[in-house]
Amino acid sequence: MIDRLTCLLCPIGCELEVETDGERIDVRGHQCDKGPDFAAEEVLRPKRNLAASVPLRGTADRMVSVRLSDRVLRELLFPILAEIAILRPAAPVRRGDVLIKNVLGSGVDVVATRTVD
């Protein structure tokens, strides 16, 4: 079977052609050595990062933006978003602070992407 997909790792967005034949995966069209691993992952178990923005505890609109420390399986995005939705970090928050460690046992953390004093 041949899949066509766009590599998501950088803005170049290489057009990848992935041929799967049982266990074997052939990848064409990548411009860097990360392409084949991405393609295999994308065909079998796609992973994504996510970003959101939550208010500081006790405020309505002093926002801290967050993301995941690494990409997770795509089906975990909405369960993790539900955890982030109830997050109300207390000031001060530094960029890189871990706000939820190992969120839902995914192995990745929810981290602050902004410093708010």
Partner 1 sequence: MTGREFDVAVIGGGPAGLAAALGARRAGTEVLLLERENRLGGILNQCIHDGFGLVMYKETISGPEYAERLIEDVDREGIKVETGAMVLDLSADRTLRVNSRSGYGLVRAKAVVLAMGCRERTRDMIEIPGDRPAGIWTAGTAQNLVNLQNLRIGNEIVILGSGDIGLIMARRLTFEGMKVKGVFELLPWAGGLERNVRQCLHDFSIPLALSTTVIDIRGRDRVSSVVVARVDERLKPVPGTEREVACDTLLLSVGLIPENELSKRAGVSLSAATGGAVVDDRFMTSAPGIFSCGNVLQIHDVADWASLEGFEAGKNAASFARDGLPAGEKAVRVATGEGIRYVLPQVIRRGIAGVDLHFRVTRPRRNVWIEGRGASTGTTLFRRKFPRLLPSELQKLKLKSAPDEDLEVSAHD
Q: How many whole angstroms separate alpha carbon 96 and alpha carbon 114?
A: 8
Residues with Cβ within 8 Å of 51's Cβ and at least 6 positions away in sequence, in order, are 65, 66, 67, 113
Please, what is the minimum distance in Å from the beta carbon of residue 25 to partner 1? Answer: 19
Contact call for residues 114 and 53 (beta carbons, < 8 A): no
The reply to whether 95 sits near partner 1 by the rule CB under 8 A is yes
> Which pair of structure tokens corresponds to residue 59?
């405020």
Please, what is the minimum distance in Å from the beta carbon of residue 76 to partner 1? Answer: 13
Per CB under 8 A, the list member of 23, 33, 61, 117 interacting with partner 1 is: 61
Binding residues for partner 1, rule: CB under 8 A, are 5-11, 13, 15, 46, 48-53, 55, 60-61, 63, 65-67, 74, 77, 81, 95, 113-115
